[in-house]
Structure 1
């Protein structure tokens, strides 16, 4: 019987810097859409949070758009490693729209940023089960959580799944380079 043996180079700072954020598309104009565009464009400066906060305080939003705006503001906060504020936004989004996969995926990414891998794994599994607009990011983040928990085999397969889902994305390919796969009798 053959066993699959996996070895990976040290994870180190990769986890904090590597967690990937999944934004939520909000359309219809207004501040919520501006918040969505900033999150999707990879913005991180604090000034991009203002339209999100103002939208949440002043605009009439459907539950989905309110939850999406909270996720997007949380993404902006996560990019500055403001894990607690981001997690608070994701918690509110889950409360409003418990079937929004991106809220769980991002809360999982925030947990990874705080090195709480088991908590992150629980949320990432839930987000994957619910479905997300960018599933490759969910699998990539789950691979980071598995690596943080020293489950290299599961991490390897999730990096592979991220590549399968988004072949043009280089981040999971770069992580796979660190792995050495050997079959052992």
Structure 2
């Protein structure tokens, strides 16, 4: 499915709807819809900061493994950093506002979890990209990829260990997350 609105092309793959349906069907915790709301807040934060920094969003592609934004032109390190921090800042603000207005609930928990998760310095997560931007800004662009992978593996090692500890209890979510992150890290 594809459409254009406000000068931006939006496309949704079959894989996106398949993963979304499977996720919501298998959700026994009741956090599926609050987490989906948190994802929308996160992507909305990126979009808002992109608009505020003058970046033009050409396309948004919703696929099985995430949302990809395509923008026109290059941004300065500072503006690029602001765009990547926009998503996690939106999640943090939404969690805080939710706690202040409604108390601790699933929506606040989902937003806080998404904020922390996206700050992990792994692959294409916001934290991984921010690490790369910081290294490039520090004048070490040729070493950025090496340090990004090293940081990613340092995070993934305990994540895999925790996933293996949770596996006998029937919790596959952390293992699937760790496998996905490892695949994105190895793919570059």
Give the TM-score normalised by the residue count of structure 2. Answer: 0.29
With a CA cutoff of 8 Å and minimum separation of 6, indicate the structure with the bigger relative contact order.
Answer: 1
**Larger strand share, 1 or 2:** 2
TM-score (norm 1): 0.30
